[in-house]
């Protein structure tokens, strides 16, 4: 029987060792951006090329909004620019979180032990709480949120300590912000951002795309009102439940800027930072997963990483990041309101001491 074990070699998400055949290296990413897909493929190519034994690489893109055709085109372009002996050993598939692991794309047959481990990695990545890899988007979100809260600028060292990002990732994030003309090229001192509403909206859209959205509705149509559920959440938090859940979306934006003009009746948006959904039944026992149903949701959960600073969490523990709220307004289709909110955020940041 082939011996096998699973290790995390720091290069990819999973490394399946099999003395009887080639190892399998898997990179699991939850993303809807083509750039992150390219990064995953490149990470795999490097890992496969560096492996001590022959290996096959599998890039798994979880819960992505990218189409199959877009993913296939990305893989084809990737294979055209890397060495042929590496290119044919790299595969790209899409996966959805759920009860069964279904891989959509070109891939060889894999042993069941590997697939079982891969299923766990896909589920964890879909919940957003297992992967320790820090992306450029997450680094940018932390910097932007620091600025929006009027907090002192961070140094590169501070940024890396708070996010856990490598120097390469943090530096690449700063380069992307430099290309948007919101930060200087100076890397030795505090990193000051000069945010404009249009750029902030672009960054919020990227931030929203990096998370996962879950919708809940009450089949009876008698769900609690958003404000009542928000108050229920605060009661639960006072009892030590849902401490990593915060109010975002329209209600969060309105609490930050009470004069924000939103007349529609939106659902309650909550940012969930630890992937734990057990609190939902305590908010309203009648809520069920709405899935892709057309019925209007009463509750929308956004599974994402927390980009708030420790100071912000202490000061406003029940409120999600400002960037979360702005991203949710865009996701809800409140474009005019999002533009107004972005303007208010930029003005507040500009006037901060």
CATH number at residue 191: 1.10.10.10
- pLDDT above 70 for 205: yes
Average pLDDT over residues 92-104: 83
Instruction: Please check whether residues 190 and 224 belong to one and the same domain.
Output: no
Select the more confidently predicted residue: 292 or 300: 300
Any residues with CB less than 8 A from the CB of 252 and at least 6 apart, and which? 246, 269, 319, 320, 324, 325, 328
Q: Residue 273 gets which letter from DSSP?
A: S
| Mean pLDDT estimate for the chain | 86
Average pLDDT over residues 249-271: 88
Confidence of residue 10 (pLDDT cuts 50, 70, 90): very low
Instruction: Please check whether residues 92 and 195 belong to one and the same domain.
Output: no
Any residues with CB less than 8 A from the CB of 156 and at least 6 apart, and which? 167, 170, 171, 174, 187, 188, 191
Across the chain, the runs of DSSP E, i.e. the strands, are 5-7, 14-17, 23-30, 55-62, 90-95, 103-104, 212-217, 245-247, 268-272, 288-289, 299-303
Q: Compute how many other C-beta atoms are within 10 angstroms of the C-beta atom of residue 87.
A: 17
Confidence of residue 293 (pLDDT cuts 50, 70, 90): low
Structure tokens at 52: 């001590």
CA 301 to chain centroid: 13
Instruction: Please check whether residues 265 and 276 belong to one and the same domain.
Output: yes
Residue 23's φ and ψ, nearest 5 degrees, are -65, 160
Question: Which residues make beta-bridge pairs with 16?
Answer: 6, 24
Q: What pLDDT is recorded for position 75?
A: 92
Residue that is last in its domain, among 95, 127, 159 = 127
Instruction: For residue 278, give its domain range.
Output: 210-332
- pLDDT above 80 for 158: yes
In a domain? residue 81: yes
In a domain? residue 256: yes
Residue 56's φ and ψ, nearest 5 degrees, are -110, 140
326: left (phi over 0), alpha (psi -120 to 50) or beta: alpha
**Whether 325 contacts 201, CB under 8 Å:** no
115-119, 168-172, 254-258 — which one is most confidently predicted on average?
254-258
Residue that is last in its domain, among 183, 207, 231 = 207
Q: Between the CA atoms of 96, 98, 101 and 105, what dihedral angle is there, to the nearest 10 degrees?
A: -20
242-256, 273-287, 290-304 — which one is most confidently predicted on average?
242-256
Q: Provide the domain count of the chain.
A: 3
In a domain? residue 340: no
Instruction: Please check whether residues 120 and 22 belong to one and the same domain.
Output: yes
Instruction: Please check whether residues 315 and 217 belong to one and the same domain.
Output: yes
**Whether 218 contacts 299, CB under 8 Å:** no
In a domain? residue 343: no
Q: What pLDDT is recorded for position 126?
A: 62
Instruction: Please check whether residues 191 and 295 belong to one and the same domain.
Output: no
Q: What pLDDT is recorded for position 103?
A: 86
Instruction: Please check whether residues 228 and 323 belong to one and the same domain.
Output: yes
In a domain? residue 264: yes
Instruction: Please check whether residues 219 and 290 belong to one and the same domain.
Output: yes
Residue that has been written with the tokens 């149509």 in this structure: 221
Instruction: Please check whether residues 201 and 284 belong to one and the same domain.
Output: no
Any residues with CB less than 8 A from the CB of 330 and at least 6 apart, and which? 201, 204, 205, 208, 338
Residue that is last in its domain, among 191, 207, 223 = 207
- pTM > 0.75: yes or no: no
In a domain? residue 90: yes
Buried-exposed string 251-277: b where 16+ CB fall within 10 A, e elsewhere: bbbbebbeebebeeebbbbbbbbebbb
Instruction: Please check whether residues 65 and 148 belong to one and the same domain.
Output: no
In a domain? residue 178: yes
Instruction: Please check whether residues 267 and 217 belong to one and the same domain.
Output: yes
* CA separation for the pair 126, 62 (Å, rounded): 6
Any residues with CB less than 8 A from the CB of 172 and at least 6 apart, and which? 136
Instruction: Please check whether residues 189 and 216 belong to one and the same domain.
Output: no
Average pLDDT over residues 326-347: 93
Q: Are strands 14-17 and 23-30 parallel, antiparallel or unpaired?
A: antiparallel
In a domain? residue 351: no
Task: Using alpha carbons, select from 348, 349, 317, 342 the residue that is nearest to residue 327.
Answer: 342
């Amino acid at each position: 029987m082939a011996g096998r074990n699973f290790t995390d070699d720091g290069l990819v998400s999973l490394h399946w060792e099999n003395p009887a055949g080639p190892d399998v290296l898997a990179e699991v990413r939850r993303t809807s951006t083509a750039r992150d897909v390219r990064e995953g493929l490149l990470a795999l190519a490097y890992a496969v090329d560096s492996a001590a034994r022959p290996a096959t690489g599998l890039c798994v893109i979880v819960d992505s909004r990218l189409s199959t055709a877009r993913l296939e085109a990305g893989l084809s372009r990737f294979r055209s620019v890397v060495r042929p002996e590496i290119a044919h050993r790299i595969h790209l598939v899409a996966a959805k979180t759920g009860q069964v692991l279904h891989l959509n794309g070109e891939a060889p047959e894999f042993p069941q032990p590997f697939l079982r481990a891969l299923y766990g990695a896909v589920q964890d990545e879909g919940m957003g709480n297992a992967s320790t890899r820090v992306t450029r988007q997450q680094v940018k979100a932390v910097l932007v949120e620091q600025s929006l809260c009027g907090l002192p600028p961070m140094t590169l060292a501070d940024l890396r300590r708070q996010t856990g990002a490598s120097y390469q990732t943090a530096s690449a994030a700063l380069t992307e912000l430099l290309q948007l003309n919101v930060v200087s090229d100076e890397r030795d001192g505090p990193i000051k951002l000069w945010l404009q509403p249009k750029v902030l909206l672009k960054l919020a859209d990227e931030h929203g795309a990096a998370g996962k959205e879950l919708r809940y509705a009450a089949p009876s149509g008698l769900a609690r009102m958003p404000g009542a559920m928000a108050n229920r959440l605060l009661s639960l938090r006072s009892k030590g439940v849902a401490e990593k859940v915060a109010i975002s979306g329209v209600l969060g934006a309105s609490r930050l800027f009470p004069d924000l003009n939103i007349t529609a009746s939106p659902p309650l948006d909550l940012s969930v930072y630890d992937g734990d959904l057990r609190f939902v039944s305590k908010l309203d026992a009648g809520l069920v997963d709405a899935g892709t149903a057309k019925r209007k949701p009463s509750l929308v959960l956004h599974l994402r990483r927390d980009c708030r600073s420790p100071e912000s969490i202490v000061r406003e523990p029940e409120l999600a990041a400002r960037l979360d709220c702005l991203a949710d307004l865009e996701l809800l289709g409140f474009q005019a309101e999002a533009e107004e909110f972005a303007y208010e955020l930029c003005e507040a940041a500009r006037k901060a001491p």
